[in-house]
Structure 1
Amino acid sequence: MAVAKKIVWTLGALLASAGAVRADDAPVPVFAVRTADGKTIEGRLRELGPDWSVRLDDGTRVDGADVLSVRRVGRPLPARPVETQLLLAGGDCVPVDRPILIGERIHFHSPHLADGKDASAPLSSVMVIWFAGTATERSERLRRRLAVETRKRDVVLLRNGDVLEGVLTALDEKTIAIEVDKKPVAVDVSRTAAIALSSDLTETPRPKSVYGRVILDANGARLSLASARCADGATLTGTTLFGAALSVPLTKVAALDLFQGKAVYLSDLKPSRYVYLPYLDDRWEYARDGSAAGLDLRVAGSTYDKGVGLHSHSRLSYAVPKDCRRFEAMVGLDDRTGRRGSVRIRVLADGKPLNIGGERELSAVGGPLSIGVDLAGVKELTLEVDFGRSGPVGDHVDWVDACFVN
């Protein structure tokens, strides 16, 4: 009897141990590598080289000059953070704990930077120190507005909607000090929604060569990297544009997008022409890196950083940059504001419609459409969003990852 009990206990312990191993071991992620020639190659990431080259587990190697993005298969791109964060010039958002001002740098703790120890960024690189929303404006729209608008002075926004304008002089874990009309004013951090710094003093980092932006799965952080490496197929390491060391398991990486390479994003260019044809007496502007409603670009469950937002009926035209040979994008109704919409999509080259692989009316039910067209000899490209069966109702269209490729 004792022997039987011992055998049962031993088997139970082994099974419990095996279950614990399975629970602790996260599945090895599979990534999709999007290349400049329009191909998508899937596999487990074996190596990311210092030149941004990618090697997959089956031995496939993609030269760094040909990589546009590396994204996790089966995982949507996460929404941007909602907690305390730094919004940096250039589009990064860094979730942080206990931001404080020391000299001309913002010091903070962030789990994947500097081994979780003290990290810092130049004050000149920070657009917004975000704590929470206000009672008067939708948080996402407020965050986006603060990150792009121009300001001559620093602004402290309180959670009740009040605003203080002046010069930020101090910030610690509990108190913000701002000089307003040459008078010092102290504000509790607990009462503050955000600190928006003077855009006149902000400097956007401008790397001389290709750089990456990693998107983290757990908290939605966006971090631009001057350099990156994965040598063991398990951990991504690198250095941010503000000089902090990054180390994060691949299981927590949602995407790595490359910039200043072969992709030229439409939202970084000035359109040659924008035409809006109203259904009634209304007016909708196009949006850069956001939806027509002034929110983040959300299509098919993912939140995209790059793209343009349009409303029916409109046409947005761009001069095709020299040496660019393709146009790529995914176009769909916005997940939140376009669910009731129905539109017709056209892409025109020098005024002539191109075959974009889908003549159907675009709707939320039918899902987005992936576009890839040749631009040989084309001088001007036009994106058109026309009314569908429902007229203008809910016609919020996002052209995500819209780019010329050379």
Structure 2
Amino acid sequence: MHSLFCATLTLMLSASPGVEVTSLTGTTVSGQLQSLNQGAIQLKQGQGDQQYPLAGVLNVRFPQNRFQRTLESPLIVRLADGSRFPVQNLKSTEQQTALQGEQTGTLTVPTKAVTSVRFGTLNSDLEKSWDKLLNSKHSKDLLVVQKENVLDYIDGVVGNITEDRIQFFAGEDEVAVNRERVFGIIYFRPQTTETTPFCSIKLTDEGLLQASNISYNGTQFEATLQSGARTRLSPSVIANLDFSQGKVRYLSDLEPRDIEYTPFFDTVWKYRRDKHRDGGPLRVGGKEYSRGLYIHSKTLLKYRLKNEYRHFRAIMGIDDSVPGIGFVYVEIKGNGRTLYSGNVKSSDPPVDLDLDVSGVRDLEILVDFGDNLEICDHLDLCNARLIK
């Protein structure tokens, strides 16, 4: 029995992960991942193997891997390269910061590459305040504390961070602050030129790693972050590998220039990015999507495209999570000219949008009320992306 269990476990651990590879043209192929390097991805399909050049790959999805949250309250770390991920342990000196995460393992990054650490737990009241501080201009480090449902801060210089203390210099005074009393720290970092990552790695704990290199050897992934840190990742912790940088821009990565929302009843349904209203994945036509927009009627989103793209593509439909009575009217305009208009119903098959946005500076997406007022008007624009 013991030998049988060990053999079964070995087989499970060595099994090649199933993936879905989407190309720039929107076609999708499935197979068992065999290898990945800077030039190509190799899949086992049927009895043979097939290679696909990464130059034509949009993303690689791991459909069997589900998003999950750790039972422990993790710290959230942000790096200057755009990476953000939860960790369980953090220690920092002036030169290096050591991070230990359930999915990322042990990482050592230059402290100058860390832009913020959040120790406290966000709620709806604190989220806007924290985001405002993250995006504010400041000339010193910020030590952020929570007072009931309000965030306040002291500016100065953050020193060493241990398991229970944070060294902080406020003017000429040096204090050792109890880490449990600190909601977060935001470092002052000089403005740097952003570099395009080779691959954005989305983890199932909702972490995001911006990598300059990634490979798969048949057992595990090895990635080098743009900060220089190296990590090994199990295939089971990866939700998506995004190779679209420099080729494609997901609409969920863009901030709308303007948002107009008019509820029919009193309930407010704000649009969401890469998630449905309940926080789960977007689901249309029996398929899950990790990227896209959830938009409820009546919502108007306006984007500034700056004439940089040729195509807007998306899979559009009423989310599978609601009964078959969803009914909306959708109108998409470019520079005021209608590119698409029509009704979308729960009973309809998904709509494959491929719109010419050449020369478009301003893109508008209107999701209006249909025949059922606003009942179950949960529209998904899955894999909504702009292609250069």
Tell me which amino acid in the other structure corresponds to 1:256: L
Equivalent position of 2:230 in the other structure: 245
CA distance in 2 between counterparts of 1:331 and 1:157 reads 43
> Unmatched 5+ residue regions in structure 2?
none
Equivalent position of 1:316 in the other structure: 301
Following superposition, the deviation at residue 320 of structure 1 comes to 5.2
CA distance in 2 between counterparts of 1:19 and 1:312 reads 53
Partners of 1:297 and 1:398 within 8 A in 2: no
CA distance in 1 between counterparts of 2:95 and 2:244 reads 28
Deviations 1:203-222 (A, max 9, x none): 567225x51122234x3432
**Structure 1 residues 298-309: aligned runs within 5 Å:** 298-300=281-283, 304=290, 307=292
Equivalent position of 1:4 in the other structure: none
CA distance in 2 between counterparts of 1:181 and 1:224 reads 35
CA distance in 2 between counterparts of 1:241 and 1:389 reads 50
Partners of 2:317 and 2:350 within 8 A in 1: yes
Equivalent position of 2:136 in the other structure: 150
Provide closer, same or farther for how the CA distance between residues 189 and 395 of structure 1 changes in structure 2, counting only shifts above 3 A. Answer: farther
Following superposition, the deviation at residue 378 of structure 1 comes to 6.2
Partners of 2:289 and 2:383 within 8 A in 1: no
Equivalent position of 1:258 in the other structure: 243
Following superposition, the deviation at residue 247 of structure 1 comes to 1.5
CA distance in 1 between counterparts of 2:115 and 2:381 reads 26
Deviations 1:282-306 (A, max 9, x none): 9x9987857799x9785349795x6
CA distance in 1 between counterparts of 2:330 and 2:88 reads 44
Provide closer, same or farther for how the CA distance between residues 296 and 24 of structure 1 changes in structure 2, counting only shifts above 3 A. Answer: same
For 1:103, what is the secondary structure of its paired residue? coil
Deviations 1:55-77 (A, max 9, x none): 21233222211111001134345
Deviations 1:302-335 (A, max 9, x none): 795x655655323334455657343223556789
Equivalent position of 1:385 in the other structure: 367
Provide closer, same or farther for how the CA distance between residues 82 and 202 of structure 1 changes in structure 2, counting only shifts above 3 A. Answer: farther
Equivalent position of 2:220 in the other structure: 235
> Unmatched 5+ residue regions in structure 1?
1-12
Relative to the length of structure 1, the TM-score reads 0.73
The answer to whether residue 39 in structure 2 is matched with residue 69 in structure 1 is: no
Partners of 1:285 and 1:292 within 8 A in 2: no
**Structure 1 residues 19-98: aligned runs within 5 Å:** 19-26=5-12, 27-51=15-39, 53-57=40-44, 58-78=48-68, 83-89=74-80, 91-98=82-89
For 2:16, what is the secondary structure of its paired residue? coil
Provide closer, same or farther for how the CA distance between residues 159 and 211 of structure 1 changes in structure 2, counting only shifts above 3 A. Answer: farther
Provide closer, same or farther for how the CA distance between residues 389 and 203 of structure 1 changes in structure 2, counting only shifts above 3 A. Answer: farther
CA distance in 1 between counterparts of 2:73 and 2:218 reads 30
Which has the larger displacement, 40-49 or 156-165? 156-165
The answer to whether residue 154 in structure 2 is matched with residue 165 in structure 1 is: yes
CA distance in 2 between counterparts of 1:335 and 1:171 reads 46
Equivalent position of 1:7 in the other structure: none
CA distance in 1 between counterparts of 2:349 and 2:127 reads 24
Equivalent position of 2:210 in the other structure: 224
RMSD in angstroms over aligned alpha carbons? 4.4
More strand by share: 2
Relative to the length of structure 2, the TM-score reads 0.76
**Structure 1 residues 149-228: aligned runs within 5 Å:** 149-152=135-138, 153-158=141-146, 160-161=148-149, 163-167=152-156, 168-180=158-170, 183-192=173-182, 194-198=183-187, 201=189, 206-208=194-196, 211-217=198-204, 219-228=205-214
Deviations 1:160-184 (A, max 9, x none): 5563322223321111233456544
For 1:44, what is the secondary structure of its paired residue? strand
Which has the larger displacement, 66-75 or 320-329? 320-329
Equivalent position of 2:331 in the other structure: 346
Tell me which amino acid in the other structure corresponds to 2:314: A
**Structure 1 residues 348-367: aligned runs within 5 Å:** 348-349=333-334, 351-354=337-340, 359-361=343-345
